[in-house]
Structure 1
Amino acid sequence: MTATDTGVLAGHLSLLAEALLPFRASEQLLARWGAELAGTLSGGGRLLVAGNGGSAAEAQHLTAELVGKLRDDREPYSAIALHAETSALTAIGNDYGYDEIFARQVRAHGRQGDILLLMSTSGASPNLLAAARAGREAGLRCWAFTGPTPNPLAEACHEALAVASPESQVVQELHLVATHVLCEYVDRILPTVPAPPTAAVRTGVEVVLDGGGPRVEAG
């Protein structure tokens, strides 16, 4: 490894450190969003999430934490990454154009009171802007994770968490931090599921094979 190679990591960490200080101001916003999201999900509402490229991967990461779990076991909640339905995505793109791939799904899946979270480092993706318009028209609460403001997506949504860095990699890395913190706040509010008892419990019936032929025993 050369000195130049080691400098790449140092340079990247320096950019990340520069963005971390203003990012700390996002604490109250994430806490409030977490409480609002927990109330929406526990009331039977849904979270729709969308992004392009690396932001699409982060959108799917977020939905996995909510349908699955962040740390402690709890009930699963409805969260959909709109890019993950590939047949619908490609059909919509083919029939209606790429700018409509998320908006049409928002109109299909979103209900008034649901939450739409759109992720973009640039804040200028036409398909996300179309989704924000569709969400607001359908009565969804629209949030954005973006890079520096002002940008069109932040303005199109009700609220935005903006990372103050010109580097898209740094923006995405802090969007991932925001995802985990948001889920942490959600989990502080939503009830956990008690751990199962350690002793095994037999239920149902069991078919036993022996020399006299099969017999059924109650569990």
Structure 2
Amino acid sequence: MSFLARHIEHPAELAGADIRPWPAPARRPYFDESLHQHRLLFQLMDSLRPQIEQAAVLMADTLRANRKIMLMGNGGSAADCQHLAAEFTGRFQQERRPLAALALTTDTSALTCIGNDYGFEHVFERQLAGLAQPGDCAVGISTSGQSANVLRALERARTLGLTTVGLSGRDGGPMAELCDVCVVVPHADTARIQEAHIFIGHCWCGLVEQSLAALP
């Protein structure tokens, strides 16, 4: 039984979570069920428009002020961080100047040094402390909103004078309280959340490009 099906069948396990009541999956082929759940979720994307656009405004303002965006996450979310940073520094859809963005997930020496000496929960926090300037934007991506290293980094980011943006799922977890804007994908299945995350990330890239199109 899938993670989503278990929590639909036993909703007490997610007591208090603000998650959409998804229909119990029928017995159908895996591809069909995955596509069905994907479609149901993406029908709700328009309800997230205000938060998505607010986050894009914060990022555009950061870049307009000659500050940078720093992204962090684990596993698939780490890959999303690298993907989005590349869209900013390279190009998404428009020809324009490079935009200052970096993923804190790419430096294996820093990650293993900090993880070994201080603990894995500090791998993003210490990079932020060394690299960030007031006015930068810290973007945390976590499907659960509970990744300890992302939460610590967002806490530190606030003390350093950074804007904080979150991209989460389920009920948002503790991450939602640490962000100026947090986009919470209302689903309990990690794969569906990740599919929504990259859609939202691409929306951010497009909105930021449009906002900064007039800059030299």
TM-score relative to the length of structure 2: 0.83
How far apart, in 2, do the equivalents of 1:154 and 1:29 lie?
12
Cα 1:187–1:150 change in 2 (3 A) is closer
Is the 8 Å Cα contact of residues 102 and 131 (structure 1) preserved in structure 2? yes
- Spell out structure 1 runs of 4+ moving beyond 4 A: none
What amino acid is aligned across from residue 52 of structure 1 in structure 2?
N
What root-mean-square deviation, in Å, do the aligned CA atoms of Structure 1 and Structure 2 show? 1.6
Is the 8 Å Cα contact of residues 74 and 192 (structure 1) preserved in structure 2? no
What are the ranges of 5 or more consecutive residues in structure 1 without an aligned counterpart?
1-5, 195-219
Is the 8 Å Cα contact of residues 55 and 181 (structure 2) preserved in structure 1? no
Tell me the residue number matched to 1:153. Answer: 175
Tell me the residue number matched to 1:213. Answer: none
1:185 aligns with 2:173: no
1:78 aligned to which of 80, 100, 109: 100
Tell me the residue number matched to 1:207. Answer: none
Q: What secondary structure, in the 3-state scheme, does the structure 2 residue paired with 1:83 have?
A: coil
What amino acid is aligned across from residue 104 of structure 2 in structure 1?
L
Tell me the residue number matched to 2:46. Answer: 24
- CA deviations on 1:119-178 (whole Å, 9 max, x unpaired) are 001111111111111111111111110012141111222221000111000000100000
Is the 8 Å Cα contact of residues 124 and 151 (structure 1) preserved in structure 2? yes
How far apart, in 2, do the equivalents of 1:182 and 1:69 lie?
13
Where in structure 2 are the equivalents of 1:42-53 lying within 5 Å? Answer: 42-53=64-75
Q: What secondary structure, in the 3-state scheme, does the structure 1 residue paired with 2:139 have?
A: strand
Where in structure 2 are the equivalents of 1:103-118 lying within 5 Å? Answer: 103-118=125-140
Q: What secondary structure, in the 3-state scheme, does the structure 2 residue paired with 1:36 have?
A: helix
How far apart, in 2, do the equivalents of 1:193 and 1:110 lie?
23
How far apart, in 2, do the equivalents of 1:193 and 1:109 lie?
25
Tell me the residue number matched to 2:195. Answer: 173
**Which structure has the bigger radius of gyration?**
1
Q: What secondary structure, in the 3-state scheme, does the structure 2 residue paired with 1:101 have?
A: helix
1:144 aligns with 2:142: no
How far apart, in 1, do the equivalents of 2:192 and 2:102 lie?
25
Tell me the residue number matched to 1:90. Answer: 112
- CA deviations on 1:51-85 (whole Å, 9 max, x unpaired) are 00000000111100000010111000111100101
Q: Deviation of residue 14 (structure 1)?
A: 1.3
Calculate percent identity across the aligned residue pairs: 33
Tell me the residue number matched to 1:217. Answer: none
What amino acid is aligned across from residue 144 of structure 1 in structure 2?
G
How far apart, in 1, do the equivalents of 2:180 and 2:212 lie?
24
1:163 aligned to which of 165, 174, 185: 185
Q: Deviation of residue 193 (structure 1)?
A: 8.6
How far apart, in 2, do the equivalents of 1:95 and 1:51 lie?
20
1:134 aligns with 2:136: no
1:67 aligns with 2:89: yes
Is the 8 Å Cα contact of residues 144 and 153 (structure 1) preserved in structure 2? yes
Q: Deviation of residue 27 (structure 1)?
A: 1.6
What amino acid is aligned across from residue 41 of structure 1 in structure 2?
L
Is the 8 Å Cα contact of residues 116 and 135 (structure 1) preserved in structure 2? yes
TM-score relative to the length of structure 1: 0.82
2:58 aligned to which of 25, 36, 58: 36
Is the 8 Å Cα contact of residues 66 and 79 (structure 1) preserved in structure 2? yes
What amino acid is aligned across from residue 159 of structure 2 in structure 1?
E
